[in-house]
Amino acid sequence: MLHSQSEQTLQVQVQLAGPNLSDIYNKLIGRKSIHIAISKSSHIALKLECTKRELSMQEVIQYFAEQLELQNPKQLKFLDKIKFEKINKINNKAKTLNKTTINDIYDILEQDDKED
């Protein structure tokens, strides 16, 4: 859900009035700032896709958060997909590590056998 025209107008008026009123506006509306770090390539892709659609990154993230607040099933499923991929990535790394560790142990045992 994007901001209503009157809310956007109020925000512009408050911003023009100065930083103190802008802070008051953000407290009244209940806004929170977030700061994230993403790869340059992901940032470029996000910016490009938003620009193609004449959207700001702020609008996209705000809309996504609002859809989560409304418990939109598609958005929740998207989060579940991210979690699933994260768990698979961790499990794959653990399997690789375990195979490497087992191979290292066999190599050490073989070295011990050769030295005896």
Domain that holds residue 88: 73-116
**Total tally of structural domains belonging to the chain:** 3
Same domain, 114 and 92: yes
Count of other CB atoms within 10 angstroms of residue 57: 13
Q: Is residue 44 domain-shared with residue 63, that is, in the same domain? A: yes
- Residue 4 falls in which region: left (phi positive, over 0), alpha (psi -120 to 50) or beta: beta
pLDDT score of 93:
75
Q: Are residues 62 and 79 in the same domain?
A: no
Judgement on whether residues 28 and 52 belong to the same structural domain of the protein: no
pTM for the whole structure? 0.55
Same domain membership, residue 114 and residue 77: yes
- The conformation of residue 2, written as its DSSP 8-state character, comes to P
**Confidence at residue 46, expressed as pLDDT on a 0 to 100 scale:** 96
Q: Are residues 46 and 17 in the same domain?
A: no
Q: Do residues 105 and 90 share a domain? A: yes
Residues 28 and 43 in one domain: no
Q: Do 58 and 45 share a structural domain?
A: yes
Provide the residue-wise pLDDT of the chain in tens; the chain has 116 residues: 455 665 666 555 555 555 566 677 667 777 778 889 999 999 999 999 999 999 999 999 999 999 999 999 999 999 999 999 998 888 777 777 666 677 777 677 777 666 65
